[in-house]
Chain A
Amino acid sequence: MKHRQDINVRALLDGLTEILPAQAVISDPASLRAWECDGLPLYCELPLAVVMPRAADEVAAVMSLCHRLDVPVVPRGSGTGLSAGAMPHPEGIVISLAGLDRIVDIDAANRIARVQPGVTNLSISEAAAAYGLFYAPDPSSQIACSIGGNVAENAGGVHCLKYGLTVHNVTALTLITAEGETLTLGGSGLDTPGPDLLALVIGSEGLLGVVVEITVKLLPLPTSVAVIMAGFNTVTAAGDAVGEVIAAGILPAGLEMMDALAIQAAEDFAGAGYPRDAAALLLCELDGNEAEVAQQCAAVSALLQTAGASRVEVARDSPTRQRLWRGRKSAFPAVGRLSPDYYCMDGTIPRRHVAQMLAEISDMAGQSGLRVANVFHAGDGNLHPLILFDASQPEEIRRAEALGARILERSVELGGCITGEHGVGLEKLAQMSVQFSNAELLQLEAIKVAFDPSLNLNPGKGIPVLKRCQEYRALPQRHLHG
């Protein structure tokens, strides 16, 4: 851990203002408040300074300076992250990549786009649409979240069942290392010899380097899309229906599920036409060419009816599809209206355990005296339980965090993991030692050292230092599962 007295703040600020225009270096405490947290405001901290470079060589110069002065650096995109991965370091700087916001090139013939990290996710697909192409990963925050942040978190979205995560849709990265060196990984082809460094860096939460350019894969826009909504009287029936769609050899573009509390909240908020009395709701999106979608639509509708759906609605036209999605896409803010605050979890479990897990979450919530709404990617078993609580009550925060931790531990026990797409950040450091052995954590640390020998890149996030793991392990955990 760095201590403030060790860092020459004057030399740091002078160095930064030599590299960057004065307005791109922020160090007055009032302005720094705007950067104190990301999308998880439970964790706040003020940095020494925030810098806003607008070019890769400025990023490299800032990294070289911080390496020379031994100053921690926290990279930040749009700040929509949900695991406090971009929370500032009190003895370090935040490097905001939001100013590197150009789409450098769309190469339609090779179906790739070169973009800077501050470009928003949605704007890539908007720009590619002119060529009949799109960028597939679409996290719910796609209007605001940046592609650089998507790379840091290996972001997913509702379409990753068919099209994969960020790691499947990036072909090259330009990285500034902790020592200020520029490194290009991957290329415009489909592979490069040697270990898959691209995959290692994607999802590394800003711990291995600062990404300054990304080459993403673009896909042809499907000619036909359909959305099927199905309401069920029991969560178990909905969970089983998900398994049956997959078992029938159909790979939907998206397969989402919501429970009763989420359905009602979304319906109140968005008026999507969801059945208010349903215990669970499935949204299944199918895409492809006309013939393919028609055939799969008929098959899935029949299958959902047989699986006991109380109501099935098929949307082929764009306005109806958008109406059905509107409820799901606004589910988080909709649930947010039910309570002063909510805490979004992100465990993933094998699909076959979905119904069982939802029942257990409901029991655990009851024991905690808190309400939980569930909105999740059923097709790939990625759960997003939203724990409702009141952050003005310290005791309720504690209960919400404890409940969240138990849900994640249970995800690991069922053969899943603690985070499907939101990242470990600061929030899930403790649960890392539930998922990994000490030897595995030490191996992760050794990889970190290979990239960042001085440990200045986003320190204290992602990978726990082992002392903390041991303390966590010493806590009695088993009795909490009941």
Chain B
Amino acid sequence: MADCSSELREAVLEAITGKSPLHIAGAGSKTGYFGREVRGTRLDVTGHHGITDYQPDELVISARAGTPMAQIHAALAEQNQMLPAECPLFGGAATLGGSVACNASGPGRPWRGALRDSILGLEFINGHGEILRYGGQVMKNVAGYDVSRLQAGAQGTLGVITAVTLRVVPKPAREITLAYTLPAAAAIARMVTLAALPGPLSGACWTGNTLYLRASGTADAVEDFRRSEGGEAVSDSAPWQALDTLDKAPFSGIAPLWRLSVAPSSPLTRATPDSIDWCGALRFFAGNHDPAAMHEAASAAGGRAQLWRGGDRRSDVNGPMSGAEKTLQQRLKYALDPSGIFNPGRLFNDQ
């Protein structure tokens, strides 16, 4: 447990005075993922860590930004609770602040929400060096704009996240994984059918020519699902931990990976994805692909493509923006970071 918020604030004030950009860093587990390369003085947030409040009966946990996600998962598991977003650990070291900054969400996303959905409150240092708090510890709070969730996905470009309060949920009483050998198109069709039915489905991914389904809930509900869906029950929970361990294809290694977040039933065009998750809504393509073609394919499927890892990290990894959107993003950046010191250029080329 260590509160380093005043040291972090000092560093921000110094950067403002010197007009010197900061590269905000947690454990660095997502360096080279999600955004563009950042040049600046490293601001290490890992020293600012620790769970500051955990009320199991209120389904709420608060922690400092540098707290390892693994520590939060362990504390919740002791009380038979969990984060609905099952934040990926990115090799083990992922921190709370970094996870929120990237809105990194796990396999239950279509049913249990993204990490941004469980944010109840957030504290951050803005570009004036002020420590600001929005939201709080309660589930319903509509006073003021939702500045807490705004930080999810901003990748540190709108401030230094210092603490976050999250909603937690009870762990399901029982959970099973079923496996089926199926090609990608048939797997997507099966996912889409199942997603429209009520039931205990809490995961649906495809990799290595295998569809994996996860069911969570009461023992009876899960047993009903197993009976009606058949398939082979596997003891292995590895398919749900692909982004925790990063040791299996296509996530192992450093080869470029494209991430397409699209309408779940979108047909497969061109290449077959190397991995499909989120019941069809998330598709990864390994290797070098033509950026324009990827952005076009994603747009036709109602979503967005991102050069998620590797490749040219100085290019427009998040894809093109309309003129109106870019103007708004720049004005918003100015509103929170008038000196432009936080992770400049991480989201888009703002030179």
A residues neighboring B (CB under 8 Å):
107-112, 131-133, 153-154, 156, 160-161, 164-165, 167-168, 177, 181-184, 187-197, 199-200, 202-204, 207-208, 220-223, 243, 246-247, 249-251, 288-289, 291-292, 294-296, 348-352, 377, 380-382, 415-424, 428, 432, 435-437, 439-441, 443-444, 446-451, 453, 462-463
A-B contact count (CB 8 A): 278
| A250 x B224 contact (CB < 8 A) | no
Q: Which residues of B contact A164 (CB under 8 A)?
A: 113, 117
Query: B241-285: which have CB < 8 Å to A?
Result: 260-265, 278, 281-282
Q: How far is the CA of A462 from the CA of B142 in the complex (A)?
A: 10
Q: Which residues between 129 and 184 of chain B lie within 8 Å of chain A, taking CB atoms?
A: 130, 132-134, 136-147, 149-154, 157-158, 169-171, 173
B145, A200: Cβ atoms closer than 8 Å: yes
Partner of B145, one of A132, A203, A292, A421: A203
Instruction: Verify A380–B138 contact, CB threshold 8 A.
Output: yes
Residues on B facing A (Cβ under 8 Å):
34, 55-60, 80, 103, 105, 109-110, 113-114, 116-117, 126, 128, 130, 132-134, 136-147, 149-154, 157-158, 169-171, 173, 192, 195-200, 217-218, 220-221, 223-224, 260-265, 278, 281-282, 301-304, 306, 318-319, 322, 324-325, 328-329, 331-332, 334-336, 347-348
B336's partner among A246, A350, A381, A446 (CB-CB below 8 A) is: A446
Name the B residues within 8 Å of A424 (CB-CB). 142-144
Contact at A289–B224, with CB atoms within 8 Å? Answer: yes
Report the separation of the CA atoms of residues A161 and B196 in the bound assembly, to the nearest whole angstrom. Answer: 21
A contact residues around B137 at 8 Å (CB):
350, 415-416
Q: What is the minimal beta-carbon distance from A154 to any residue of chain B, in angstroms?
A: 5
Contacts of B199 in A (CB 8 A): 220, 289
Residue from the set A110, A192, A207 with the largest chain B CB neighbour count within 10 Å: A110
Q: Chain B interface secondary structure, helix, strand, loop or mixed?
A: loop
Most chain A beta carbons < 10 A, residue from B171, B278, B328, B336: B328
Min CB distance B174 to A, Å, is 11
Residue pair B142, A154 in contact (C-beta under 8 Å) = yes
- CB-CB under 8 A from B265, the residues of chain A are 109-110
The answer to whether A153 and B218 touch across the interface, beta carbons within 8 angstroms, is no
User: In the bound complex, do residue A203 and residue B142 qualify as a contact, i.e. CB atoms below 8 Å apart?
Assistant: yes
Given contacts A288-B217, A420-B141, contact A189 B263 (CB under 8 A): yes
Closest residue of chain B to A296 (Cβ to Cβ) is B218
**Does the CB pair A443–B147 fall under 8 Å?**
yes
Task: Give CA–CA (A447, B329) in the complex, Å.
Answer: 11
Q: List 30 A-B contacts (CB under 8 A).
A: A110-B192, A110-B263, A168-B117, A187-B302, A189-B261, A190-B110, A191-B114, A193-B306, A195-B329, A200-B147, A291-B224, A348-B141, A350-B55, A350-B58, A351-B58, A381-B138, A381-B140, A417-B138, A418-B143, A419-B141, A421-B142, A424-B142, A432-B143, A435-B143, A439-B132, A443-B336, A447-B335, A450-B334, A453-B331, A463-B145
Q: Hey, which chain B residues are within 8 Å of A444, CB to CB?
A: 144-145, 147
Q: Are A292 and B200 in contact, CB atoms less than 8 angstroms apart?
A: yes
List residues of chain A with CB within 8 A of the CB of B58.
246, 350-352
Q: Which residues of A have CB within 8 Å of B223?
A: 291
B328 near A194 with CB under 8 A, answer: no
Distance in Å: Cβ of A303 to nearest Cβ of chain B: 14
Neighbouring B residues of A221 by C-beta, 8 Å: 198
Report whether B138 and A200 are in contact in the complex, using a CB–CB cutoff of 8 Å. no
Closest-CB distance, B13 to chain A (whole angstroms): 14
Among candidates A107, A428, A437, A448, residue contacting B143 with C-beta atoms closer than 8 Å? A428
Beyond A196-B152, A443-B126, is A190–B114 a contact (Cβ under 8 Å)?
A: yes
Q: Which residues of B contact A417 (CB under 8 A)?
A: 136, 138, 140-141, 143
Among candidates A191, A197, A291, residue contacting B261 with C-beta atoms closer than 8 Å: A191
Distance in angstroms from B128 CB to nearest chain A CB is 7
Q: How far is the CA of A444 from the CA of B149 in the complex (A)?
A: 14
CB A433 to nearest CB in B, in angstroms, measures: 11
CB of A193 within 8 A of CB of B153, answer yes
Partner of B218, one of A199, A247, A295, A432: A295
> Which one of A165, A247, A289, A415 contacts B198 once the chains associate, using CB atoms below 8 Å?
A289
- Could you say which residues of chain A place their CB within 8 Å of the CB of B336? 443, 446-447
Q: Given A223-B198, A292-B220, are A109 and B192 also a contact pair (CB < 8 Å)?
A: yes
Asked if A288 and B34 sit within 8 Å, CB to CB, the answer is: no
Quote the shortest CB–CB distance from A370 to chain B (angstroms).
24
**Contact of A289 with B221 in the complex, beta carbons under 8 Å:** yes
CA distance A450 to B334 in the complex (A): 8
Contact among A189, A443, A463 with B304 in the assembled complex (CB-CB below 8 Å): A189
Contact B173 A200 (CB under 8 A): no
